[in-house]
Amino acid sequence: MIRHLLSGADLDADTATQILDTAAEMAAVSGREVKKLPALRGRTVVNLFYEDSTRTRISFEAAAKRLSADVINFSAKGSSVTKGESLKDTALTLQAMGADAVVVRHPASGAPHRLADWVDGSVVNAGDGTHEHPTQALLDAYTMRSRLGRLAGLSVAVVGDVLHSRVARSNVLLLATLGAKVTLVGPPTLIPVDIAPGTDVCYDLDAVLPSSDVVMMLRVQRERMNDSYFPSAREYARRYGLDGPRMRRLPEHAIVMHPGPMNRGMEITPEVADSSRSTIVEQVTNGVSVRMAVLYLLLGGNNR
Amino acid sequence: MNAYLIRNVSVLGAAPTDVLIRDGVVAETGPGLSAPDAGVVDADGLVALPGLVDLHTHLREPGREDAETVETGSRAAALGGYTAVCAMANTSPVADTAGVVEQVWRLGREAGLVDVQPIGAVTVGLAGERLAELGAMADSAARVRIFSDDGHCVADPRLMRRALEYVKAFDGIIAQHAEEPRLTEGAQMHEGEVSTRLGLTGWPAVAEEAIIARDVLLAEHVGSRLHVCHVSTAGSVEVLRQAKARGVRVTAEVTPHHLLLTDVRAETYDPVFKVNPPLRTATDIAALRAALVDGVIDIIATDHAPHAVEDKECEWAYARPGMLGLETALSIALDVLGPEWDLIAERMSRAPARIAGLTEHGHDPAPGAPANLTLVDPAARRVIEPAELASRSRNTPYARMTLPGRIVATFLRGEATVLDGKAIK
């Protein structure tokens, strides 16, 4: 097993599959009346969050607690080299406290990589800047696999602000590893100018829908609207929003995903978000199981 | 000691000979010289070059003496084979008045290890809004001739035009940091496949190329001298090639790091590789190397940019851009160009001295020339250890790399500043 989970690229197909399989076992535990396993008793997991993200933090917290780990929540919002303690000093502090795993959310891309150089414990990237969010990709893959029965050969459209999306980056890497075919869809201003060879790009959502097994809608940050990425929210919604008529162009079995939080009416309409194709609530549930699997395997459920 | 007899030295790669320097000048060259009063330097296997001249150095004093001082930067320069450096204006306070440039000039004289030629800011406080008192700096004891807002682009085209015109009165030159600021807001590294993968905001090549294209047209229009700092892209080389072919009075520099390192280095997120302009691609490196050989790029300049540990040991986005360069530049040039001594002398000494108007520098060691020279051991190979550098900072991107060449001795106006590879003071 790998020591840190910093990027979707850290996972080969065997490791990723092992995590998904373990998550399925964890999900079975979560369905029991007593949802707790003793696997990580006496181990310490620190949630180090430099950004507000209640949903990701509580998902990791629930995962660690169900494995009986001691959980410390360290909210360092607003910290930077100019304001307060440096990341390195924080790392040394966590090291001194004996953190076995550090789950880190940070506004700067690459911060988890830096942290991994400075602590002995495992580092789990819970979202860094516009870089990656690998546990989100794992829970998305888990959700696809449980709904559609497989990952290899699936056609997945990732739609929206790919340029700034850590969810998209991790999904592109992981889905390629697991044999799915990804198409990036969005206005050209929100697709990076240089992307790895072999990734498909399409600027026309309607053209992609009939052949998609999965449509993954990305959140569009409100601040993009004032920065000339597209003319207006209305135009964005018209061209790239998923509404009822568009949803009906999908194959019957296709599912609609969103990492949350949603802008209802912007990238997705309530009709779609609340439809039976939508996996949005399942994704949250699956997130806990997948994060249990990640912590369990990284912290040596079976390797130390 | 006011005389040194350098025995068996190869002047720019020629057959070994002796070089006698006395009273600040090269007194005599030829085999079998004798001078009983002179200190003898055994230079078997060493190559003599005119003392190197750096057109682009950040000495950080006044303001960030924790990162570098005029003295520590001068020592690093001498150890790198330099006899003159041009100190950039982005200090705190900014070198935008006669007072600050004279302070830096005086500190350089006091250190006495290299000639420190201050560069003046183009605009007050580097703010890009109104011209600094360029004439006062030109007339000061520091005799400033190069003006630059380096670190910032003089982005306003009208202000750039006025600056180019104004300095004609005293044969000045504007050294432009070419970066269209609206295209690089929040930029962290070269925009390309690697920045996409790393999720770091891209610094597109066009942001540099667009400003160079504009500025060569402005310089052509008003008949002024333009110098382009740290050219980093293949596209910039083409813009410069065309401008030079038309006879525009433009010169250009490239840094050692842009000749050697690519954007892939950012993969570690170690900000020691963060620099502005950013490390580019292998294609850019190939174009820059070719341009350096064919003369479209006139000089190698270090952009030596010391930074305190806390400004680099942090998240990439929060780190300051810049790398050390003075103590490794000649090694990189040797690595990139090979033992092309005349080309190295031209690109690292004669041409920068000409551009900067430093008449005492950039002369090959020949009778009558000022004794500003350096001795290189081309056969040596050394492992770069940050802790061993003379700079007060440690942010070298070449840590633990093995590089060719070692500076054995440096002479400034006939006085040794470096002997046996060690600084004299």
Instruction: Clarify whether residues B140 and B170 are in a common domain.
Output: yes
Instruction: Clarify whether residues B412 and B321 are in a common domain.
Output: no
Instruction: Clarify whether residues B265 and B380 are in a common domain.
Output: no
B322 contacts B272 by C-beta, under 8 angstroms: no
The arithmetic mean of pLDDT across residues A87-96, rounded, is 92
Report the distance separating Cα B328 and Cα B390, nearest Å.
11
Question: Which of these, B177, B150, B171, lies nearest to B59 by C-alpha position?
Answer: B150
Q: How confident is the model at residue A303 (pLDDT cuts 50, 70, 90)?
A: very low
Q: Is B313 on the interface with A (CB under 8 A)?
A: yes
Instruction: Clarify whether residues B8 and B23 are in a common domain.
Output: yes
Q: How confident is the model at residue A80 (pLDDT cuts 50, 70, 90)?
A: very low
Last residue of a domain, one of B327, B356, B385: B356
Instruction: Clarify whether residues B211 and B292 are in a common domain.
Output: yes
Q: How confident is the model at residue A301 (pLDDT cuts 50, 70, 90)?
A: low
Q: Is A196 on the interface with B (CB under 8 A)?
A: yes
Instruction: Clarify whether residues A172 and A229 are in a common domain.
Output: yes
Average pLDDT, chain A: 93
User: Count of domains in chain A?
Assistant: 2
Contacts of B278 in chain A (CB under 8 A): none
In a domain, B87, yes or no: yes
Contacts of A114 in chain B (CB under 8 A): 269-270, 314-316
In a domain, B172, yes or no: yes
pLDDT in tens, A271-287: 999 999 999 999 999 99
Last residue of a domain, one of B298, B333, B356: B356
B245: left (phi over 0), alpha (psi -120 to 50) or beta: alpha
Instruction: Clarify whether residues A160 and A271 are in a common domain.
Output: yes
Report the distance separating Cα A242 and Cα B269, nearest Å.
36
The nearest CA of chain B is from the CA of A113 a distance in Å of 7
**Interface probe, candidates B196, B206, B268, chain A, greatest A C-beta count within 10 A:** B196
Q: Is A108 on the interface with B (CB under 8 A)?
A: yes
Cβ contact (<8 Å) for A86 and B198? no
Q: Is B201 on the interface with A (CB under 8 A)?
A: yes
- Percent of chain A scoring above 90 in pLDDT: 84
In a domain, B361, yes or no: no
Domain CATH for A289: 3.40.50.1370
Instruction: Clarify whether residues A73 and A115 are in a common domain.
Output: yes
Cβ contact (<8 Å) for A108 and B317? yes
User: Count of domains in chain B?
Assistant: 2
pLDDT in tens, A213-241: 999 999 998 777 778 899 999 999 999 99
The nearest CA of chain B is from the CA of A43 a distance in Å of 27
Determine if residue A3 is labeled as part of a ligand binding site: no
Contacts of B192 in chain A (CB under 8 A): 193-194
Q: CA A208 → CA A156, B154, B269, distances in Å? A: 9, 46, 35
Q: Is A161 on the interface with B (CB under 8 A)?
A: no
Instruction: Clarify whether residues B40 and B103 are in a common domain.
Output: no
Query: Which residue of the set B96, B303, B311, B377 is catalytic?
Result: B303
The arithmetic mean of pLDDT across residues A91-103, rounded, is 93
Q: How confident is the model at residue A75 (pLDDT cuts 50, 70, 90)?
A: confident
> pLDDT at position B2, please?
83
In a domain, A303, yes or no: no
Report the distance separating Cα B29 and Cα A239, nearest Å.
78
Residue of A nearest to B199 (CA): A131
Instruction: Clarify whether residues B373 and B275 are in a common domain.
Output: no
Residue A82 in this model has a pLDDT that exceeds 80: no
Q: Would you state the structure tokens that stand for residue B241, as one six-digit string? A: 């090639």
> pLDDT at position A83, please?
58
Instruction: Clarify whether residues B229 and B135 are in a common domain.
Output: yes
Peptide bond into B157 cis (omega under 30): no
Domain CATH for B96: 3.20.20.140
Q: How confident is the model at residue A52 (pLDDT cuts 50, 70, 90)?
A: confident
B294 among known catalytic residues: no
Cβ contact (<8 Å) for B317 and A169? no
Give me the sign of the Cα torsion angle B51, B57, B61, B67.
Answer: negative
pLDDT tens digits, chain B, 425 residues: what are they?
A: 689 999 999 999 999 999 999 999 999 999 999 999 999 999 999 999 999 999 999 999 999 999 999 999 999 999 999 999 999 999 999 999 999 999 999 999 999 999 999 999 999 999 999 999 999 999 999 999 999 999 999 999 999 999 999 999 999 999 999 999 999 999 999 999 999 999 999 999 999 999 999 999 999 999 999 999 999 999 999 999 999 999 999 999 999 999 999 999 999 999 999 999 999 999 999 999 999 999 999 999 999 999 999 999 999 999 999 999 999 999 999 999 999 999 999 999 999 999 999 999 999 999 999 999 999 999 999 999 999 999 999 999 999 999 999 999 999 999 999 999 999 98
Q: Is A109 on the interface with B (CB under 8 A)?
A: yes
Report the distance separating Cα B325 and Cα B305, nearest Å.
7
This complex has an ipTM of: 0.93
Q: CA A107 → CA A51, A77, A103, A229, B319, distances in Å? A: 6, 9, 14, 21, 14
In a domain, B363, yes or no: no
In a domain, B314, yes or no: yes
Instruction: Clarify whether residues B36 and B121 are in a common domain.
Output: no
Residue of A nearest to B193 (CA): A194
Q: Is A113 on the interface with B (CB under 8 A)?
A: yes
Q: Is A114 on the interface with B (CB under 8 A)?
A: yes
Residue type for position A202: C
- Helix-then-strand count for chain A, H and E: 11, 9
Instruction: Clarify whether residues B30 and B98 are in a common domain.
Output: no
Report the distance separating Cα A188 and Cα A190, nearest Å.
5
pLDDT in tens, B194-215: 999 999 999 999 999 999 999 9
Domain that holds residue B21: 3-47+368-423
In a domain, A2, yes or no: no
Last residue of a domain, one of B356, B379, B394: B356
Instruction: Clarify whether residues A49 and A161 are in a common domain.
Output: no
Q: CA A202 → CA A9, A156, A188, A190, distances in Å? A: 24, 12, 9, 12
Cβ contact (<8 Å) for B199 and A87? no
Q: What is the CA radius of gyration of chain A?
A: 19
Cβ contact (<8 Å) for A108 and B196? no
Domain that holds residue A139: 134-279
Instruction: Clarify whether residues A172 and A230 are in a common domain.
Output: yes
Element spanning B78, H or E: helix B70-79
Cβ contact (<8 Å) for B198 and A111? no
Cβ contact (<8 Å) for B199 and A166? yes
Total-model pTM: 0.95
Where helices occur in B149-233 by DSSP H, the ranges are 157-166, 193-198, 205-222
Q: Is A201 on the interface with B (CB under 8 A)?
A: no
Question: Which of these, A168, A237, A167, A230, lies nearest to A205 by C-alpha position?
Answer: A237
Cβ contact (<8 Å) for B311 and A86? no
β-bridge mates for residue A128, sequence order: A106, A132
Q: Would you state the structure tokens that stand for residue B404, as one six-digit string? A: 């060719």
Cβ contact (<8 Å) for B268 and A111? no
The nearest CA of chain B is from the CA of A37 a distance in Å of 36
Lowest mean pLDDT among A54-63, A191-200, B53-62, B397-406: A191-200
In a domain, B258, yes or no: yes
Instruction: Clarify whether residues B385 and B399 are in a common domain.
Output: yes
pLDDT in tens, A13-41: 999 999 999 999 999 988 888 889 999 99
